[in-house]
Structure 1
Amino acid sequence: MIKCRILHIALALPLLISACIFLYLMQQEDGGKAISNEKVALVLPGKTSDQGWNRALFAASAKVEQDLGVKFVYLQDVSADDLQNAVSAMRNQRITKIIMGSFKDLSLLLSQKHSAKEGVRYAGFYTPKDYVYGYTELRLDLEYAYYLAGFAAARASKNGRIGFVIENFEPLSKAVVNAFVMGARRAVSGIMVFVTRSDELGHKGTAEAACDRLLDIWTVDSLAYFASNNAISRRARMRGVHYVGFLDGPNTASNLMITQIKISFENVLRQALKALNDDENSAKILDFPFGDQSISMGAYGGDLDDEDIKQLRVLDRQMREGYAVFQGNIYDNDGNERCHRGQTLDRNAFLGKSWFVEGTYLVP
């Protein structure tokens, strides 16, 4: 009997050692420390039922919870005015790692000295003017994706007039509009992109009203958007017009959808957790470039012909290989030259300047 037990232990020992090595390697992959059983706050600007940005983050967090063993605590439909109170509530629960799921201005929150003192760490999509201790920016490089979307929308347009809805004039909103317009004008010289802003998130019907204004007053024949819900794509389907989708949502197989910009929030959240779990608490930037595991394009449709799709796929491949499309003579819509011949417009110029590219028409 003793010999049998010794034999069993001897046989099991290599398996135990292998399991320990596996767990150690998994911990190293997740930032060198185990994340299991830790509570992390996920603060969302809208409701998880919106079938857009907030729903996508919520769904991804459930998968990450299952894989890594973390426990997300959710605060949804948090307005800019309630942001400080929401974070204070998390700190009262001794939750010191917080992911902010919006592009809203966090400068007031990040300037709070007690945050660093209490060891609170933040990750978010907001780009601050000055980086602060304990904040990790989750930088989604969406410009290439919106460039391709603009190219596709211009080729799909019949009357040369495209509508674009944004929720605000934050730097990233302007950047994706500029990229979209540049892509559209490369596809069709002289095409017009009409941009309108929906009201503050939470006022029912404002996104739909923005779509109706673009369609009825400015007579656009297709819609694109950068927003936290998919109300615009629903409105486009209801009105029977082509549109560019943003994130996953229902009816993505609609023949009205020109293409779709996709984000893997699972990968974004995994990387955010690694950064928050890092011993080094300095300010960081996590880049999620186009073409990696985070940002990609969906299928092309919306009456695009085979030649259009072929050109889009060539452009897609070139940009993944590092081809710079934002170069040469680039003018803003006031006629000022923002990029000279032989130069390339870098991302800081996109994000740091308050201007729209030539061909952009801001309308009420």
Structure 2
Amino acid sequence: MSQPRRLILPRRNVIRGLLSVGAFSITSQIWTGCTSSSSSTSDFPSPSSFTAGSTEPMTIGFIYVGPKDDYGYNQAHATAAARMASDFPWIKLVEEASVPESTAVQETMRNMIEQDGAKVIFPTSWGYFEPHSLKLAQEYPKVQFFHPNHPLEPSHPQNVGSYFSSLMEPAYLTGIVAASMSKTGKLGFVIPKPIPVVLKEVNSFTLGAKSVNPNIVVQAIFTGDWSLPLKEAEATNSLVDQQVDVVITRVDSPKTVITTAEQRGIYSCGYHVNEKDIAPKGFLTGVEWNWEQIYKNYAEMFQNGKTLMNGGVAQVVTGGLKESFSKISDYGTAVRPEAKAAVDKAKQQILSGQLTIFKGELKDNKGNVVIAAGESYQQGDPRLNAIDWFVEGIEGDVKS
């Protein structure tokens, strides 16, 4: 391998200290082997270009920490996995849901490999990685293990890869819709944990909202974990009682927040998947992963005999709107034409490079300058991985 492994931001824990720039960097040159120096994001196959040609059958395993129908993070992965197996008939899909982040996942992975003959494993939850996946990767060096959004280190086995879809751009666009539809000028955000990847998206949402209404207020409430339905309902009700009329959440399953908002008669924005059918009156849009594109790209490479071990598959892949790795949900019936037009304009500016979400001068909600005038943090900038502040306009404390 001619290039070192690269850092990718985590989802389920505070990002470790930024690693040496000489050894790690976030890459936008994805879907290329580590030995290649000429490929770039422009080489991506389009969604319509995938064909299931003749190839050897391959068993691929997917493991989920929650149920496959959670209207959230796990469902997003499961739906994309099913689509991959449908588009590529030579793939045999084996799955197990609601697997704890414990030694139980080691047993699941071992069974998939030894009993089902899996050659590729996608353990989709943060806590599966260390020590569990690393241990299995050492035991089974011919099996590839791909983790969403986990940092890699030089000591990690060569048969371990990482991938991630950045959501800050669709979060910005969703903020535009929320502010356009709000009558009270108060939005609510139910947040699981104050980690950089989450704070980046909360700030992006707020900056999008402020582009519509500079005086908009986003009230933030932390629940403390990824799935606490009772606290999520309590937080939503508390926000409604404070005159919030649009709510969004970043927890694993937004279902509780969205259905509570619907019952209270306010608007909601989703996350992970399209939740329009559980809030037919109040759902506006949402922030979505597009794992389908990522998994299709992987399948295409597997079909061509490319692996992590032979350098045909990059150790780390990451992308956003431009790479079709993320998107906003289809609009609900309540969204007005002018809100859609504002989103279309901002999206084109993002794709063309005219609009940078994080640029100075930018202050946090305590009045401190966090990005100086003339500076900007582009998609993939490692400084985005260290965000520990709320932008101006958010009511809440990241330390709470």
Q: Which residue of 1 aligns with 2:141?
A: 118
Give a deviation string over 1:185-223, Cα, whole Å, max 9, x none: 22222322122233545555343233223323x442211
The yes-or-no answer on 1:70 pairing with 2:72 is no
SS in 1 for 2:359: coil
The question of whether the paired residues in 1 share the 8 Å contact of 2:58 and 2:119 is answered with no
Paired amino acid for 2:307:
D
RMSD: 3.2
Pair 98,210 (structure 1): closer, same or farther in 2 beyond 3 Å:
farther
Paired amino acid for 1:328:
G
Aligned residues: 335
| Matches of 1:149 and 1:178, distance apart in 2 | 12
Aligned-pair CA distance for 1:320: 1.7
The question of whether the paired residues in 1 share the 8 Å contact of 2:190 and 2:249 is answered with yes
Structure with greater helix share of residues: 1
Q: Which residue of 2 aligns with 1:331?
A: 363
The yes-or-no answer on 1:87 pairing with 2:109 is yes
| Matches of 1:127 and 1:58, distance apart in 2 | 19
The question of whether the paired residues in 2 share the 8 Å contact of 1:262 and 1:298 is answered with yes
SS in 2 for 1:57: helix
Pair 213,30 (structure 1): closer, same or farther in 2 beyond 3 Å:
same
The question of whether the paired residues in 2 share the 8 Å contact of 1:156 and 1:302 is answered with no
Q: Which residue of 1 aligns with 2:385?
A: 351
Percent identity (aligned): 21
| Matches of 1:143 and 1:125, distance apart in 2 | 16
The yes-or-no answer on 1:102 pairing with 2:133 is no
Q: Which residue of 2 aligns with 1:46?
A: 66
Pair 256,30 (structure 1): closer, same or farther in 2 beyond 3 Å:
closer
| Matches of 2:386 and 2:128, distance apart in 1 | 14
If the length of structure 2 is used for normalisation, what is the TM-score?
0.72
The question of whether the paired residues in 2 share the 8 Å contact of 1:166 and 1:196 is answered with yes
Q: Which residue of 1 aligns with 2:306?
A: 278
| Matches of 2:370 and 2:133, distance apart in 1 | 31
Q: Which runs of 5+ in 1 are unaligned?
A: 1-28
Paired amino acid for 1:226:
R
User: In structure 1, which of residues 251, 261, 265 is the aligned counterpart of residue 291 of structure 2?
Assistant: 265
| Matches of 1:236 and 1:343, distance apart in 2 | 38
| Matches of 2:218 and 2:127, distance apart in 1 | 25
Paired amino acid for 2:68:
T
User: In structure 2, which of residues 81, 92, 107 is the aligned counterpart of residue 61 of structure 1?
Assistant: 81
Pair 116,61 (structure 1): closer, same or farther in 2 beyond 3 Å:
same
| Matches of 1:32 and 1:66, distance apart in 2 | 10
The yes-or-no answer on 1:186 pairing with 2:211 is yes
Pair 336,96 (structure 1): closer, same or farther in 2 beyond 3 Å:
farther
| Matches of 2:274 and 2:137, distance apart in 1 | 38
Question: Quick check: which has more Rg, 1 or 2?
Answer: 1
| Matches of 2:143 and 2:206, distance apart in 1 | 39
Pair 80,74 (structure 1): closer, same or farther in 2 beyond 3 Å:
same
Q: Which residue of 2 aligns with 1:320?
A: 351
| Matches of 2:135 and 2:388, distance apart in 1 | 27
If the length of structure 1 is used for normalisation, what is the TM-score?
0.79
The yes-or-no answer on 1:289 pairing with 2:320 is yes
The yes-or-no answer on 1:222 pairing with 2:222 is no
User: In structure 2, which of residues 190, 207, 217 is the aligned counterpart of residue 165 of structure 1?
Assistant: 190
